[in-house]
Amino acid sequence: MSLSVKHLLGIKELQPADIQTIFRTADNFKQVLQRPIKKVPTLRDTTIANIFFENSTRTRISFELAEKRLSADVVNFSASGSSVSKGETLIDTVNNILAMKVDMVVMRHSASGAPWFLSQHVDASIINAGDGVNEHPTQALLDSFSMKEELIKKGYKGDLKGKRVAIIGDIMHSRVALSNIFCLKKLGAEVMVSGPPTLIPKHIHDLGVKVEYNVKKALMWCDIANVLRIQLERQNKPLFSTLREYALFYGINKQMLDGLQKDIIIMHPGPINRGVEISSDVADSEQSIILDQVENGVAIRMAVIYLLSGKRDLEA
């Protein structure tokens, strides 16, 4: 039992069987996390560097906890206050860290493709914790894992095949959206993206997803709505007039959900802009599984790290 890849750069490169293996393993780690001693000695001989060139709270804490629950040694690095500001290149930075006998690298970078570039130049396994507007694979995995889990709780088979998932909001700047689309399609779900035309990339239907500019219609269509954050920091030019206008036309509130006459599952990868893409009463409602997503994040990341740290050439 291993993954077909050496690095986790994106969901795009994964086989559907890899995703199932990760889910099965995460199930077991989730069980470990519910014990009084939430820790296993599996990776006590492994050192992992978390290299974050971009801000993060959730993902970084989640990765760090996952590593510590597996008994790995952890070093943290963030771009601010490091030699990066002195002009060191990415490869030099990482090679210097690897020279200190680090086995695995978890990296977030603002440039799309940075983890791929790195994987071509270093031996250690790379886990992409988000690269620019490209992919955020562990987020997509924990999203699909949480969907499965919630469906089982609701009495369905834990199968996403044929389930309708709407991804709503800033699709253009979202690596979560792209990874989610790849992941959901590989698991057989139907995917729709919805939001203002300026925030939906032109040729996105080539990925096999439906496009709907009316959020209300998207909600009526779907079983699960994954609401994304408006990424103001990635917008160089204004793509909608004001946040208030966005909230008015594309924000999801309780009234809309109550008008649907069915219970859809509400998700959000965080951080939430309360009152913009999603109102507080929705984010905190019974239908929302936002905090389950965060909880599952640790188990999913433990699974990915465990599965990538298998066979190693001990001579090296």
Instruction: List residues near other proteins by CB under 8 A.
Output: 1-2, 24-25, 28, 31-32, 35-37, 39-43, 45, 70, 306-307, 309-312, 314
Of residues 30 and 229, the one with the C-beta less far from other proteins: 30
In the complex with other proteins, the residue whose CB is nearer, 191 or 305, is 305
Minimal distance, residue 159 CB to other proteins, in Å? 20
**Whole-number minimum distance, CB 88 to other proteins, in Å?**
31
- Closest CB to other proteins among residues 146, 309: 309
C-alpha to C-alpha distances, 268 to 48, 230, 248, 283, 296, nearest whole angstrom? 28, 11, 18, 8, 13
CB of 51 to other proteins, least distance (A): 23
Beta pairing partners, 126: 105
| Residue among 42 and 253 whose Cβ is closer to other proteins | 42
State which residue, 27 or 287, has the beta carbon closest to other proteins. 27
CB of 184 to other proteins, least distance (A): 25
> In whole angstroms, what is the distance from residue 104 CA to residue 24 CA?
22
Cβ proximity to other proteins: between 41 and 87 the closer is: 41
CB-nearer residue toward other proteins: 244 or 312: 312
- Smallest gap, in angstroms, from Cβ of residue 316 to other proteins? 11
Min dist CB 27 to other proteins, Å, is: 8
**Within 10 A of 77 (CB to CB), how many other CB atoms are there?**
19
